[in-house]
Amino acid sequence: MGKKSDFGELETVEHDLLKHDCSIGQILKERGVSRRDFLKFCSAMTAAMALPASFAPRVAQALDEVRRPTLVWLEMQSCTGDTEALLRSANPTVAEIVLDILSVDYHETIMAAAGHQAEGALDKTIADFNGKYICVIEGSISMKDGGIYGTTGGKTHLERARQVCGGALATIAVGTCASYGGIAAAVPNPTGAVGVRDAVPGATVINLPGCPVNADNLTATIVHYLVFGKIPALDSHGRPLFAYGKRIHDNCERRPHFDAGQYVEHWGDDGHRKGFCLYKMGCKGPATFHNCPTQRYNEKTSWPIAAGHPCAGCSEPQFWDTMSPMYKRLPNVPGFGIEHTADKIGLGLVAGAGAAFAVHGVLNALRKDKEPAEENKEG
Amino acid sequence: MSDNCKFKCYIWELPVRWCHWINMICIVTLSVTGFLIGTPFSFGSSTSSFTMGWIRFIHFSAAYLFTVSVISRLIWSFIGNKYSGWREFFPLMTDAGRKKTIRMLRYYMLLDKDVPETVGHNPLATAAYVCLFGIYSLMILTGFALYAQHAPQGPMHKALGFMYVLFSDQGMRLTHHISMWFIFGFVINHIYSAWLMDIKEHGSEISSMFSGYKFTVRKEK
């Protein structure tokens, strides 16, 4: 597939756009994707959805028969990191995901169309497939001052989100920014950035936080919908349980070192070289729900802890504020200087109490007490 | 009390004393293990060690014991004698209690020389205990909310769902940690005051927590 000329690919895209009714199985066959590769993909997706391997044939059967969903991808206040993660993901390859599995009718970063033509395509898609298309949103939505801090095609992001999410079957918020506002929403949040759920409260939103989103989780979420006809079970933050149902700490490959009591004490020390637990270096794995340890990134090559860096907690709400400082176990105490840890303040408190009572004790020892008056006696 | 003490009076019933000492042992255990969990050093000699595992096991076991003890004490405040009853803990609600609190405050602030007599709880102490039980609740809730995350969507995780709305995860850790220091502050106050009143009242304040008896001038009504 990768060997096709650019012209050939464009032709295929047009061809596919006309054939919205084709099932995925038909399209794959037409495209010459081998049955073996297709089944491998189905097995990988079954694993990503945390389903037993016996579900793989069911996934294959469903994908064989199901109609391709139409998908529009909107960029809001973002760094395009999630698109990057998707384009760089090896399995499914970009060709597979864009051309074979999904029908991406609008994607600001990778579409060929521009200007009025592109906006027209979006309007046509949301009109033609009203209530049937899936909307993917990347980036946070600015709410302050009427949302003027982020506009595309002359419309604020807020207007676009309301318009597109309103008619969507479901909205998938990819990345931490779209899920909870992310870095743009960090204190002092100058643009009033929020996640899609807060910006469009009525919409059905699935959050796939992470910085960036794991493309396998995005594909698995869509495949879940195609196979079961409903969105996956979500946790209280709107995240699919199959991907965010367990803490990083509880599935971590370095967990035995944590339980044993073997820690990295300094960067580059012996423990760091041996791959010991990064708990003391401020790892937020114990506070973060994500399937990084099992799913990993970039064709399951690696992920932060495997590479020797503590987890930053990027898939948790407001991680930029609540998970900082990145390399410390505990947050700083609000209202005190940056170097005041909970222990320093606690020690000061205890020392102060000790000193006060010592002085009180000395003063009491020096004075003469009286017997209480008869009317004040209790016993 | 001193010179005229003629009667011994049963003040602290067995459940009150048991709860008190279980709480003490739990707080010491939880503080030591909690410190090691918060700031461990590399105590594991090999990957096959389970040192942190055992420390956490002791912490969680002590946490369960502590929770049972605190809840038992709260229940006892409704069925025990008048000295252990819940009314004792709100001295400012009654006229007599308010007067006693003022006398106690004046004595503590070195304004009065009359040693205030108390057979049961000192009203300032009970006011402090109300705060302490607030901290205990916070400790138990934040502790178990963090603990419950090992089994997401389990019964404990769901029952404590409101905690994850009120606190961020790291916020819970910070609260759990700093509350320990507040308890240390209380402990210093508590031991000092017990020692002071033992010396000043001559009513065997400290040994009463072991025996349950105090010595009084008048017979118990």
For the stretch A125-178, pLDDT in tens is 889 988 888 899 999 999 999 889 999 888 999 999 999 998 898 999 999 999
> Which of B46, B178, B185 is the closest to A342 by Cβ?
B178
pLDDT at B221: 54
Average the pLDDT over each of A291-300, A324-333, A367-376, B94-103 and give the range with the smallest value.
Answer: A367-376
B215 contacts B198 by C-beta, under 8 angstroms: no
Does A235 contact chain B (CB < 8 Å)? yes
Cβ within 8 Å, pair A287-B39: no
pLDDT at B55: 96
Round to whole Å and give the CA distance between A266 and A278: 10
The interface predicted TM-score (ipTM) is 0.89
Cβ within 8 Å, pair A330-B184: no
Q: How confident is the model at residue B62 (pLDDT cuts 50, 70, 90)?
A: very high
The pLDDT of B159-183, averaged and rounded, is 94
Does A275 contact chain B (CB < 8 Å)? no
Q: Which CATH superfamily is domain A248-322 in?
A: Cytochrome-c3 hydrogenase, C-terminal domain (4.10.480.10)
pLDDT at B70: 97
Complete DSSP assignment for A263-275:
B--STTSHHHHHT
For the stretch A192-220, pLDDT in tens is 999 999 999 988 999 999 999 998 898 88
The pLDDT of A294-318, averaged and rounded, is 92
More confidently predicted of B188 and A16: B188
Residue B45 lies in a domain: no
B161 contacts A326 by C-beta, under 8 angstroms: no
Does A336 contact chain B (CB < 8 Å)? no
The pLDDT of A59-86, averaged and rounded, is 85
Q: Is the pLDDT of residue A106 over 60?
A: yes
Complete DSSP assignment for B45-59:
SSTT--HHHHHHHHH
> Which of B44, B153, B171 is the closest to A262 by Cβ?
B44
> Which residue of A180, A234, A236 is the best one to mutate when testing the B interface, meaning the one whose CB has the most B CBs within 10 A?
A236
Closest to B62 in 3D by CA, of B101, B38, B28: B28
Round to whole Å and give the CA distance between A150 and A141: 7
Q: Is the pLDDT of residue A284 over 60?
A: yes
> Which of A265, A353, A376 is the closest to B103 by Cβ?
A376
Round to whole Å and give the CA distance between A310 and A248: 11
Q: How confident is the model at residue A345 (pLDDT cuts 50, 70, 90)?
A: confident
The encoded tokens of residue A335 equal 């209202």
B85 contacts B79 by C-beta, under 8 angstroms: no
For the stretch A248-260, pLDDT in tens is 999 999 999 999 9
Q: Which helix (H) or strand (E) covers residue B61, if one does?
A: helix B51-79
Q: What is the CATH number of domain A6-244?
A: 3.40.50.700
For the stretch A258-272, pLDDT in tens is 999 999 999 999 999
Query: Residue B203 corresponds to which amino acid?
Result: G
Cβ within 8 Å, pair B218-A376: no
Q: Is the pLDDT of residue B12 over 90?
A: yes
Q: Is the pLDDT of residue A92 over 80?
A: no
pLDDT at A8: 42
Domain with CATH 3.40.50.700 in chain A: 6-244
Residue B174 lies in a domain: yes
Q: Which helix (H) or strand (E) covers residue A125, if one does?
A: helix A115-128
Q: How confident is the model at residue B3 (pLDDT cuts 50, 70, 90)?
A: low
A134 contacts A208 by C-beta, under 8 angstroms: no
pLDDT at B217: 76
Average the pLDDT over each of A8-12, B104-108, B183-187 and give the range with the smallest value.
Answer: A8-12
Q: How confident is the model at residue A331 (pLDDT cuts 50, 70, 90)?
A: confident
Q: How confident is the model at residue A376 (pLDDT cuts 50, 70, 90)?
A: low
Query: How many separate domains does chain B show?
Result: 1
CA of B16 vs chain A CAs: smallest distance (Å): 20
Round to whole Å and give the CA distance between A339 and A316: 25
CATH of the domain at B78: 1.20.950.20
pLDDT at A243: 94
Q: Is the pLDDT of residue A14 over 60?
A: no
The pLDDT of B205-215, averaged and rounded, is 90
Crossing angle, helix A81-88 and helix A215-228, to 10 degrees?
80
Cβ within 8 Å, pair A367-B177: no
What integer best gives the mean pLDDT of chain B? 90
B56 contacts B34 by C-beta, under 8 angstroms: no
Round to whole Å and give the CA distance between A75 and A108: 7
Residue B46 lies in a domain: no
Sign of the dihedral defined by the CA atoms of residues A115, A118, A124, A125, in that order: negative
CA of A378 vs chain B CAs: smallest distance (Å): 6
For the stretch B132-155, pLDDT in tens is 999 999 999 999 999 999 999 899
pLDDT at A246: 93
User: Which letter does DSSP use for residue B86 in this model?
Assistant: G
Average the pLDDT over each of A103-107, A148-152, A371-375 and give the range with the smallest value.
Answer: A371-375
Cβ within 8 Å, pair A350-B169: no
Question: Which domain does B24 fall in, by range?
Answer: 2-40+51-216
CA of B174 vs chain A CAs: smallest distance (Å): 6
Q: Is the pLDDT of residue A377 over 90?
A: no
Cβ within 8 Å, pair A322-B170: yes
Residues of B in contact with A261 (CB under 8 A): 40, 42-44, 49, 51-52, 55
pLDDT at A2: 38
> Which residue of B37, B168, B176, B216 is the best one to mutate when testing the A interface, meaning the one whose CB has the most A CBs within 10 A?
B168
Does A236 contact chain B (CB < 8 Å)? yes
Closest to B213 in 3D by CA, of B31, B96, B83: B83
Q: How confident is the model at residue A46 (pLDDT cuts 50, 70, 90)?
A: confident
Round to whole Å and give the CA distance between B134 and B140: 10
Round to whole Å and give the CA distance between A167 and A200: 12
Q: What is the count of residue pairs from A and B with beta carbons less than 8 Å apart?
A: 169
For the beta carbon of residue A41, count every other beta carbon within 10 angstroms: 24
Q: How confident is the model at residue A309 (pLDDT cuts 50, 70, 90)?
A: very high
Domain with CATH 4.10.480.10 in chain A: 248-322
Q: How confident is the model at residue A12 (pLDDT cuts 50, 70, 90)?
A: very low
CA of A188 vs chain B CAs: smallest distance (Å): 18
